[in-house]
Chain A
Amino acid sequence: MTDVVVEPTTSVAVAHGRGEMPPWRLLLRRPTFIVGAAILLFWVICAVFGHAIAPQDPLAQQLLATNKAPSGAHWFGTDQLGRDVFSRVIVGARTILVISFFATVLGTVLGTALGLIMGYLGGLIDTVAGRLIEAVLALPLVIVAFLFLVALGTSPLTMIVVVGLVFTPLIARTVRSAVLVERQQDYLDSARLLGENRSYIMFVEVLPNVLPVVLVEFTVRLGYAIFAIASLSFLGFGVQPPTPDWGADISVNYGVLPAGYWWMVLFPALAIASLVVAINLVTDSIEQVIAS
């Protein structure tokens, strides 16, 4: 759960100004991006159309066919209640993607606003907020999330709020340093001389210029969100059974691993692994294209 601090650079503007090739063309030339995007697209399709794609009802229990190993009838086998693991993996893409996405959106919006205010106004607000951020970051993210989930109770909505709030200071810190770079620019002096008010300058003049940093930060955080949400679901703080969810399904079934029922946990585990690796391949490619 280390946070990669994306240092804002002026090369973002340079990359656009060069005008040789649009950034998305550069992205499509990177094999790591293609692979990552393809896997991501697959899971997004599963999240949207999961119930139509899944061969069986992910909730249907077949009590005469429990703990069945993978076969032609059940590609990924069946779980302890005789539910089709393949169907549960396909449909389970929805909860993790939806929760992670909204948590990241919330964190990005709040973090960007806080970062703009801290970076642009500076002074006491910046110092106080900076200290608070340090205090929150003094704990591993999963532990902070943990503390608040225990205090507030568990539901997908609390998970979105908690992970979003935990990400806010991280994103604020990155946006703040980008804003500090922008503050040196002449256009802000002009805006001030024109007598525009501070919130107008922050959100209409500065924000568009730090947007590339915000977008990179969003994709990086989305990867961490999936990591965190999967881990919290595994600990039982997320979606409650019987709703299909990768982390929760692993949590319910890993106890029978020593008995040799590996398929109930391996396939959801591989699904999580493929999703996080895919999103990180995409993020890494975007960062490298921006940096080059």
Chain B
Amino acid sequence: MVQSRSRLNAQRYGQKRVSGHPKGAILATYILKRIGLALVTLWLLSVLVFFAVQVLPGNPGRAILGNLAAPSAVAALNHQLGVDRPLIEQYWTWITGVLHGDFGMSTQFRAPVEPYLSAALVNSLKLAALAFVIVVPLGIIGGVVAALNYGRPADRIISVAGLSATTVPEFVSGIVVIIIFGVALKVLPVSASAGPGASPASQFQHLILPAIPLVLILFGYIARMARAGTIEALNSDYTRTATLKGLPRSVVIRRHVLRNSLLPTITVIATQLGYLIGGLVIVEVLFNYQGIGNLIFKAATTKDFPMLAAGVLTIGVVYMVATLVADILATTLNPRLRLGGAE
């Protein structure tokens, strides 16, 4: 991809790509700056999460034990949880632990948080990966087809269907696919978990239904970006030049339109990874899948604050890394941004 971009760049500006020092330095500074900002944001996020789960509930011991527990028991639990110490000290203990991979003890399982968290994260990534593999080609094809049929019924149908699919909450579309494929047709399993030791093929089969709501949510966005990018490229001077110099339409589209239109789409796809994870909470609860979303939900309903904080922080980190990678990717791939317009 990088290679073809630079070739395109050379083609467009009639010069060889200069991989000289100044531009490389600009890019490196930009990337370092973005990473620095991401670290600051991450720190703020950790403070936010800490305060939400440690400070807002007021009295965690009371929250866990309920209204009927004896005050002495509440005080003992608070002491055991360490919440009777000064806030700064609590935050310091928590954050140094997190940085060493120690997320504390889950009050719900009475065991370290970390193994549950990693297992759930792996499960969630499996589901997210499946949804991604389905939706990326589908969204791009949909958007490009809509753009090539700009203003015609095919365009309107894809645009309105995409918009509608994107706005319907995941649990609603999830319910509909469960009813159609799981209850009426009985062709696919309704639960997402294939059980322990299930073969990859069986796991895959169980993940198809949960992936559909995620695909529907993302389809509209990816298609919309691909459509907008393609329309812009179709209306550009270089496309007109390519058409006027007698290139066949298929060559124009493949070599001049798509290469330029898919770049913004790639960026959007990467940023969607975070939203995908947000949608996972709902889908995992609906399909009873043991992913990180379900873990956070269970932690929330059982007031397992260490687990909740760890899960939310993990999602924040994944989300931020995805956005960062998307930004850097877009800057590296786009010659115009790479040549100094990065800020």
Chain A interface (Cβ < 8 Å from any Cβ of B): 1-2, 32, 131-132, 134-136, 138-143, 146-148, 150-152, 223, 227, 230-231, 234-236, 247, 250, 254, 257-258, 260, 262, 265-266, 269-270, 272-273, 276-277, 279-281, 284
Contacts and interface: CB of A to CB of B under 8 A. Distances in A.
Given A223-B167, A258-B183, A269-B176, 11 more contacts: A141-B278, A142-B279, A147-B53, A230-B172, A234-B169, A234-B171, A236-B301, A257-B182, A258-B190, A277-B167, A281-B164
Looking at chain B's contact residues, the main secondary structure is helix
A257 B173 CA distance: 14
Contacts of A148: 52, 56
A143 B315 contact: yes
A151 B52 CA distance: 6
Contacts of A236: 301
A142 B320 CA distance: 16
A272 B279 CA distance: 17
A230 B169 contact: yes
B45 A280 contact: no
Interface of B: 37, 40-42, 44-45, 48-49, 52-53, 56-57, 160, 163-164, 166-173, 175-176, 178-179, 182-184, 190, 217, 221, 271-272, 274-275, 277-279, 281-282, 285-286, 296-297, 300-301, 303, 308, 312, 315-316, 319-320, 323
Contacts of B170: 231
B52 A266 contact: no
Given A136-B48, A139-B312, A143-B278, A276 B286 contact: no
Nearest to B54: A151
B313 to A, nearest CB: 9
A257 B183 contact: yes
B183 A143 contact: no
Given A152-B56, A235-B297, A147 B272 contact: no
A151 B297 contact: no
Contact of B175 (A132, A135, A235, A254): A254
B87 to A, nearest CB: 15
A277 B164 contact: yes
Contacts of A132: 44
Contacts, number: 147
Given A146-B300, A262-B183, A284-B163, A276 B168 contact: yes
A134 B182 CA distance: 40
Nearest to B303: A150
Contacts of B49: 147
A3 to B, nearest CB: 9
Contacts of B272: 2
Question: 9 tightest CB-CB pairs across the interface, nearest first?
Answer: A140-B278, A151-B56, A135-B44, A150-B300, A280-B167, A269-B175, A147-B52, A277-B164, A276-B167
Contacts of B296: 143, 146
A180 to B, nearest CB: 15
A277 B175 contact: no
Given A132-B44, A150-B300, A272 B172 contact: yes
B168 A272 contact: yes
Given A140-B275, A142-B281, A254 B56 contact: no
Nearest to B282: A231
21 contacts: A131-B44, A135-B48, A136-B48, A138-B41, A138-B320, A139-B45, A140-B279, A141-B278, A142-B278, A150-B303, A151-B52, A151-B56, A227-B169, A230-B172, A231-B169, A231-B282, A236-B301, A254-B175, A265-B175, A272-B172, A277-B168
